[in-house]
């Protein structure tokens, strides 16, 4: 696996999960803006440059250690971070380290939710992805409960349920494809794969959508009685580079996650993928990078707490 600078492995290990669960954590328009436009307030009370005066070093501090932050809370077995869908989510220690440095520089100013948003942005950039500005001004929530994770897309969800979960948050079918493509970076654990590889049907067997030549490779990496905590790349051959190769893999039966493979089951989501990787896409297709940025900016407006709502946590893993 290729390393990309100091701390690259830690960033790569957490970025896809940060992006994926950030829809539930209320976790981001192109970079070319004028100074006046940078102060423009966006929906939800967020704006680029929110900490320009109160904590000018905020973004550089987060970058150096390289949503409402509910997944960060440690408050026993019912905390959101213990949900099945969050198993394997990493990078908590990076967020905590950034918070320590920010509290030393600008105490009580930068929320944990904004740290997560900034860290995800930096990780995408570190993986040669698009560089974009993050509207900030989020405040941290007061609730972290296992039940909150029920709204999160699950690896076993059928395509209609995936579309419904995204739609309920104001996200389109195109957003579903683009945000699923965040799986271009990172790894997953074998325990998310076992049913797909060995118990897809009541009597056993594997998911028939897996390309026949790919199935033995997946089974070799995740043997039936092996360690379910073993991690495998989600975007084989490109797992540390942000690109659209994962869409090619999905379309041709090389999806690792079942939820990614389900994008092939719907003509609309298939069409969205083809708009980025189809035969005429290099000439007439849309920009995957620009559309991804728009989708994640849009996601960043979901259910945010701003103004006097919520709090600024002193420690990201506990309420004040």
Find residue 140's DSSP bridge partners.
311
d(CA 258, CA 74): 29
Could you count the other beta carbons within 10 Å of the beta carbon of residue 274?
15
Burial string for 285-308 (b: 16+ CB within 10 Å, else e) reads eeebbebbbbbbbbbbbbbbbbee
Residue 86 in marked binding region: no
66 is an annotated ligand-binding site residue: yes
- Bridge partners of 199? 205
Task: Spell out the alpha helix ranges (H) of 24-172.
Answer: 35-38, 58-65, 92-105, 112-126, 159-167
103 in a known ligand binding site: no
- Three-state secondary structure call for residue 153: coil
Closest CA to 94 of 110, 77, 118, 129: 118
Run of H or E including 188: strand 187-189
183 annotated to bind ligand: yes
Structure tokens, 217: 């490779």
The verdict on whether residue 68 carries a ligand-binding annotation is: yes
Find out whether 130 and 292 touch, Cβ atoms under 8 Å: yes
Q: Is 235 marked as binding a ligand? A: yes
Q: DSSP state, 141?
A: -
184 is in an annotated binding site: yes
Residue 80, marked binder: yes
Query: Taking the CB of residue 309, how many other CB atoms lie within 10 A of it?
Result: 14
Any known ligand binding at 252?
no
Annotated binding site for substrate: 153
Residue ranges for the known binding site for heme b are 183
List residues forming the annotated binding site: 66, 68, 70, 80, 153, 183-184, 235, 243
Give binding residues for Ca(2+) as ranges.
66, 68, 70, 80, 184, 235, 243
């Amino acid at each position: 696996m290729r390393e990309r600078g100091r701390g690259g492995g830690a960033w790569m290990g957490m970025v896809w999960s940060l992006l994926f669960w950030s829809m539930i954590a209320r976790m981001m328009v192109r970079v070319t803006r004028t100074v006046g436009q940078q102060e423009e307030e966006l929906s939800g009370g967020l704006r680029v440059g929110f900490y320009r005066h109160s904590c000018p070093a905020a973004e550089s501090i987060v970058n150096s250690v390289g949503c409402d932050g509910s997944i960060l809370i440690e408050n026993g077995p019912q905390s959101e971070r213990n949900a099945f869908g969050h198993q394997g989510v990493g990078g908590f220690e990076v967020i905590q380290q950034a918070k320590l440095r920010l509290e030393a520089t600008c105490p009580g100013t930068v929320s944990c939710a904004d740290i997560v948003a900034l860290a995800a942005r930096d990780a995408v950039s570190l993986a040669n992805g698009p560089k974009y500005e993050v509207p900030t001004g989020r405040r941290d929530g007061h609730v972290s409960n296992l039940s909150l994770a029920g709204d999160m897309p699950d690896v076993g969800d059928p395509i209609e349920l995936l579309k419904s979960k995204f739609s309920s948050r104001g996200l389109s079918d195109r957003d579903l494809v683009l945000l699923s493509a965040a799986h271009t970076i990172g790894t997953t654990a074998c325990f998310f794969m076992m049913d797909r590889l060995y118990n897809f049907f009541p009597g056993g067997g594997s998911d028939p959508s897996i390309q026949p030549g790919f199935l033995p490779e997946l089974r070799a990496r995740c043997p039936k009685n092996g360690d379910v905590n073993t991690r495998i790349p989600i975007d084989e051959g490109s797992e540390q580079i942000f690109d659209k190769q994962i869409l090619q893999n999905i379309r041709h039966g090389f999806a690792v996650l079942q939820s990614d493979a389900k994008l092939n089951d719907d003509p609309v989501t298939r069409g969205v993928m083809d708009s980025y990787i189809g035969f005429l896409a290099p000439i007439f297709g849309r920009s995957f990078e620009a559309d991804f940025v728009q989708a994640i900016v849009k996601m960043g407006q979901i259910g945010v707490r701003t103004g006097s709502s919520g709090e600024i946590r002193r420690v990201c893993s506990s309420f004040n």
